[in-house]
Each structure stands twice: as C-alpha cells, then as structure tokens.
Homo-oligomer: A and B are copies of this chain.
Amino acid sequence: MSATTPVPAPDATRVAVIGLGAMGLPMALHLAGAFPVTAFDPAAERLDAATGRGIRPAATPAAAAAEADVVLLAVRDQAQLEQALFGTDRESGADGVAASLPAGGVVIITSTIGAEPLRAMAGRLGERGLLVVDAPISGGPVRAGAGDLLIVVGATNDALTLARPVLDRLASTLTIVGSRVGDGQILKTINQLLAGVHIAAAAEAIALARGLGVDPEVVVSALADGAAGSFMFSDRGPRMVEAYRGHSEVKSRLDIFVKDMAIVADAAAAVHVPTPLAAAAQQLYLIAERQGLGAEDDSRVVTVLSPA
C-alpha cells in the first residue's frame, strides 16, 4: 500500500463503504488507494477520521451508494446490516443502500451473520435488481489495512465478476466456496465454531496447568508444535499467560464470540446437528460477558475458569 495520496484511474470501480469501525475504516482507506471511495458511518468522529484521507463522506447509506458501482458493508451484526441496507425509516427505507444503488449494482457483505439471515436479505435486494456477494472476512484490523484479509465468498459469477477488483484489493486469500449466497457465511460459521472452541480449549489447558502447579508457559512451549497444537493455542495461549500479569491489549473482542457462537448454535440446530463443544464454548463466552469482559480481549475467557 502506497503512503502517497491515492490517484484512482478515471474508469475505476466506484466504491461506497458503509461502516467505518475497526475493520471498515482500514478497508476503506486501503480501497481509497485504488478506487474513488464514498463512505458513511453514523458516528461523526469515525466519518471525520476517514474524510481527508481520500474518502468522500456521505450523510446516509443511501447518499453513499447513490453513485457507486459496488457497496461494501462492514457493520457488526444483522440489525445494523438491515438498517444500512433498508433504512432506519422502515416505511420508506429512504436512507438505506437499497433505496439508491442503481439496478445492476453489487452489494458486498463482509459481516458474519449466518447463512439464513443473509439469504433472506439477498432475496429482498434481488427484487430491486441488486446483486449480492456474501464475503465474510477474517484477519483483524492490521491485515484489513494491508489488503491481507482472508475472505470466503459465496456469489454468482455475475456478482463475483463485478465485485472482483474490490475483493482482490482487500484479500490475500480469497476462497470461492460456492455460487450460492450464504456459502461464505457457512464457511465463516464453521471457522468460528473451530476458533471459538479452540480458544476455550486453550483456556481450559492454561487454567488446568495453573491448577496442577505447572507453569503455563512451559505447557505452551512444550505442546504447541505437537498433536495438541492449534493456531489459537499458539496465539491466545501466551496472551492468556499475559492476562494474569495484568496486560490487557484488546486484539480481538470477546463479545464477537458471544455473537458468533450464537450463529453457530442457530445454524447447527436448524439442520439438527449436535455440537456439544460449541455449545459449551458459547456458555463460557456468555459467562465471561456477564462478568463484564465483553469488550476485553477474547483471551480473557481464561479468567472465567481460573480467576487469579
């Protein structure tokens, strides 16, 4: 990514970004290095942070999308997504993306909300002649700003072709799961099942090591590269050890897993597949949230099992 003022090509895809949070802002800034970008966020300070760095601010999602070819949505959950697409005024929907994006335009949805809710929204957008790319993202804010995200995609070829320049700018790994909207959500749902369970398993391992009087750092270094290893054990294990030393940098909020394990539970129940470990992990994240840890790093879940 160049640090100089971006100069998009005259015929470049016009992009609107809705949501300038932890992921949306770095994505918007990185996109602005290659495309003309308009953006909206309900928080004035976030919109200000983007304005003047090559991004044109808009007063509503509808205003941001009015002259766009591709709209990228980077909002937290299903409720925010409904609002951004279909408006806060549920009668007219006048300020939502769907009210202004010209027919044939593409909506890229990067949020994790589950396959069924996304398919319902895609149906409503399709009635207006809009195309949808189901593209949940992983990787965190730093990678979001460097075009280094993992994106799993469900989309028709038509939608994918139009969205491709934007996706390629953001992703270092782009996996086309299938042609159905929702296929990306399914893969992300399974990703979160594994990630959420592995973090909770790491917490049990660290807590048990402490309980049995063995240094958790020895446990992580002895086991991380063997049959007991996981990305999360290597990544969160040391952060759990740090948590007991009072360090508390928030790299990934715990309440993301409160949201996402509920999506896992809903998806599994809908198809009658038992997922007892995911269910146990969901309860742990809920307990942690009830203890006031929702905005803390997810590694803090270890303190539910072994408080001090």
Contacts and interface: CB of A to CB of B under 8 A. Distances in A.
B194 A230 contact: yes
Given A228-B231, A231-B229, A231-B230, A186 B201 contact: no
Contacts of A191: 223, 226-228
Interface stretch (A13-21, A52-60, A76-84, A210-218): A210-218
Contact of A205 (B193, B204, B232, B235): B193
Interface residues of A, number: 64
A175 interface: yes
A226 B156 CA distance: 25
Interface stretch (A3-11, A25-33, A42-50, A269-277): A269-277
A175 B218 CA distance: 9
Nearest to A305: B274
A178 interface: yes
A130 interface: no
Contacts of A175: 222
A284 interface: yes
A283 B268 CA distance: 19
A260 to B, nearest CB: 12
B178 A190 contact: no
A125 interface: no
A229 B194 CA distance: 8
B195 A227 contact: yes
B207 A273 contact: yes
Contacts of A183: 214
B211 A193 contact: no
A230 B277 contact: no
B277 A222 contact: no
A75 interface: no
B201 A205 contact: no
A60 B276 CA distance: 45
A243 interface: no
Contact of A276 (B187, B202, B231, B284): B284
A163 interface: no
Given A138-B226, A212-B267, 20 more contacts: A175-B222, A186-B213, A187-B214, A187-B222, A189-B212, A190-B214, A191-B226, A195-B227, A198-B198, A200-B277, A201-B201, A204-B274, A204-B278, A207-B274, A207-B275, A211-B271, A227-B235, A228-B231, A276-B283, A277-B277
